[in-house]
């Protein structure tokens, strides 16, 4: 029997301590006891991962405070991108919607209330493609508590099956088809180099999924719901993750602890929020030039 609450899909690998913290915070959410938890545990890359992978699986399988806990233990190493893409697709086919977490995303007590309310509210609004639990640390003065934004954030998110079915990881096609104007818009008007991730995937330097979910939403002209104050924080910015990112000024200092229900009815990206994120992310000219030089050198070496 499918519950009234959306299932939570949790992706874990070899970080038992992060997984424990993530589960403890999630279980403290209002509505956790009515929520089905489905854990996709990736397999070890080699013998060195085995102990940590097994300990992580034991912690996840023993999770308390949920309606049910289902463990999908991968026999082999899928890698983060494939584990997430296949796992989300599987859950979408069964439940029609899902809330998605990785093993290093700590949630506040109001996270599930917010996610479930937004999934119900915008289920039949085709322009809304994605619910973000995390948001950039911008000045909230004058902004509504929740707003629509063109960029996808993946540190605690949700969507529906009919949107997710459009997901494609197609870096070569994007490089071939997108105009310079599209690339500039994808980079939030040049504020951040999201498109570099597409190029790095095409060249085989990285193998990721999130930028392609963003690209899918972008091509559809979709919107992403964001909280002005985040419901989540990333506790994995310590060098332990598959795709490590240094802590930055973007991370929230405090989290929104309760969902107040004041979701927007106007389906347009909030221009004030966009400007503030652009100001936060704005790339200095010298950094842009440095990245272009490094990319040119890397391509030259790869062509030899």
With a cut of 50, list the residues of the chain below it in pLDDT: 1, 242-247, 285-286, 288, 299-304
What is the distance between the alpha carbons of residues 127 and 148, in angstroms, rounded to a whole number? 10
> What's residue 237's pLDDT?
83
In this predicted structure, what is the pLDDT of residue 246?
47
Report helix, strand or coil for 102.
strand
Domain edges within the chain:
8-303
Distance CA 116, CA 190 (A): 33
Question: Which secondary-structure segment (H or E) carries 121?
Answer: helix 111-121
The values of phi and psi at residue 102, to 5°, are -105, 170
- Note the pLDDT of residue 239: 52
Q: How far apart are CA 269 and CA 189, in angstroms?
A: 14
Residue 300 is predicted with a pLDDT of 42
- CA–chain centroid gap for 275, Å, is 22
Q: Copy the structure tokens of residue 144.
A: 């509504």
CATH numeric code, 8-303: 3.90.550.10
What confidence score (pLDDT) does residue 12 get?
Answer: 99
């Amino acid at each position: 029997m499918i519950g009234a609450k959306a299932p939570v899909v949790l992706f874990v690998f070899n970080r038992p301590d992060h997984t424990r913290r993530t589960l403890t915070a999630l279980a403290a959410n209002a509505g956790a006891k009515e929520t089905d938890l489905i854990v996709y545990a990736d397999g070890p890359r080699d013998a060195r991962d085995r102990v940590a992978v097994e300990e992580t699986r034991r912690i996840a399988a023993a999770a308390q405070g949920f309606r049910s806990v289902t463990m999908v233990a991968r026999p082999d190493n899928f890698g983060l991108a494939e584990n997430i893409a296949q796992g989300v697709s599987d859950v979408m086919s069964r439940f029609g919607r899902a809330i998605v977490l990785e093993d290093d995303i700590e949630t506040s007590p109001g996270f599930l209330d917010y996610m479930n309310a937004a999934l119900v509210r915008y289920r039949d609004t085709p322009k809304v493609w994605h619910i973000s639990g995390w948001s950039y640390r911008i000045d909230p003065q004058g902004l509504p508590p929740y707003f629509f934004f063109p960029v996808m954030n993946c540190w605690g998110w949700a969507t529906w099956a009919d949107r997710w079915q459009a997901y494609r990881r197609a870096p070569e096609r994007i490089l071939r088809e997108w105009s310079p104007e599209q690339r500039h818009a994808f980079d939030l008007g040049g504020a951040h180099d999201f498109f570099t991730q597409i190029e790095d995937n095409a060249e085989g330097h990285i193998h990721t999924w999130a930028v392609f979910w963003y690209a899918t939403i972008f091509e559809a002209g979709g919107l992403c719901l964001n909280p002005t104050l985040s419901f989540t924080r990333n506790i994995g910015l310590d060098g332990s993750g598959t795709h490590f990112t240094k802590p930055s000024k973007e991370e929230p200092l405090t989290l929104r602890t309760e969902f107040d229900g004041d979701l927007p009815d106007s389906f347009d990206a909030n221009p004030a929020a966009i400007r503030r994120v652009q100001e936060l992310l704005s790339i200095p000219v010298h950094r842009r030039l440095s990245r272009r030089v490094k990319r040119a050198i890397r391509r030259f070496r790869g062509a030899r």
